[in-house]
Structure 1
């Protein structure tokens, strides 16, 4: 294992310390319990938006804390859920009296711990609502989940709901909006390699040189099935077909197309994959109205990518286009 680290146990804390130094104008990092909070939180007359999960998916979630997106994020150890104390601390830090919305990826530990934190916050008089993302079409149940996993759509949902919160929407409106975004989006991922967790020191699963894994999750877990390595056009078709069938998307739909890197794939390959996705959707009469290409929800050093399609209307497009200023996502300022 070759990694730019000091000690495996210190990776998360030291990375967050670096993040705090680099983006002191946008975020602050509270050390105990460990929480990343928007620098100007709590914000008067605004619903707080929080999320979180295991580390190793950077820039998810801490990189999305800032104006127009999240108010706080709770980082767990690598691929491990944060604990309720972190979520409660995040809730307290962002509550301005209008309630707090939790955005939770559908992983068993995350769901359970956020639920406990919401109960503790409610006992303190803080109104909390929760929306669970479960956009992964690859599996219904896995080692990590009961039901579908929450993956790439979480990024898009945090941006859209964050824009609505910034504009002053109330908790009920934001909850309904988040549920709608979750219902209108689907994702599918693939891997060329596994990833290496620093504390483990070896790849999470063995993937032979001439094979790829389809339907992988973001914790280094294997996917739905393995196939022989193929040209990018064929891989793109394997990813997009189950997405289009699942919703289902229809001719005339307008979508936000998100090509996400898993951490070890260069942008030249991600743009190539976007080209293939664009061709496949155009052939089906589906118009890409907005797009996002890059590493936004990763799996450490895994080589691979995921596709996410979100069906858009004018309102969702307007919220996507609204200004955002975070360490990892920024436009309109």
Structure 2
């Protein structure tokens, strides 16, 4: 098959959606499909797929810009600049199917009128709202196949679209049990390192994480990420837990060592489309503290310390319980999420269409 994966952050960021789709693309290309990625980064050596640079302006440039439908956020503004350039780079006649998780602008660009109409595959990495809502710009959504990253999305959308339930995966060659290197990151040696891998935005609840970890006197909180709330988070940490907070921005290459250098993984989103970070933490053997939902239990099974994280007392108790667990937990079952297995499910679904 000749496939195009399009997303502004490809080869530029290592966020969840980018990691997931690039990993699937690499595994499909390695198995023999002809795969092209279009993104705002630069080509990398050693990839099985081909890459084409399509420029965009970073979302950080739009944090203070006006927000209105369909430009509802800084992410939408970034997507619009990428889609404008994608229209010039994308030739529908070159592909059998195109894959994205970006709506609305990239989605619209890939569906532009053409005599050759490749299959339109949409992945719910950032949510399934476009697929089922009939409000505003969401009424324009259409696809030939919808890949749902959790059972809720699959059940909700199956009556309307051709759907497949396919989870995300993890690179087990990179994320695995290891010794770590606290000195490399400047972490204290005599405190429990609690790690959050989150953007500094409201839905990730980093401020709630600071408030909870502040109640554990032997804990040091590390947050890997960036976003509009970075200064507010720093100010709160300086007040509640001075000297016990650090924000880091690392390359994708450094992330496995970061997980290995921590003691506990904390993630406070109330509901994620999937959450690749959970698999990365699990593969690294970290105890996981997160919000208790059926969706997360579908991913983790009995692994992790799940609780009502909106109840601060329950959250603190879960962190204490996690701190008493084995420093290197069991990784049994993680093999099901190897990217090679996930890519086979993508290929099977697209082939069936």
Name the TM-score, length of structure 2 as normaliser. 0.31
Give the structure, 1 or 2, with the largest relative contact order (CA under 8 Å, sep 6 or more).
1
The structure whose residues are more often helix, as a share, is 2
The structure whose residues are more often strand, as a share, is 1
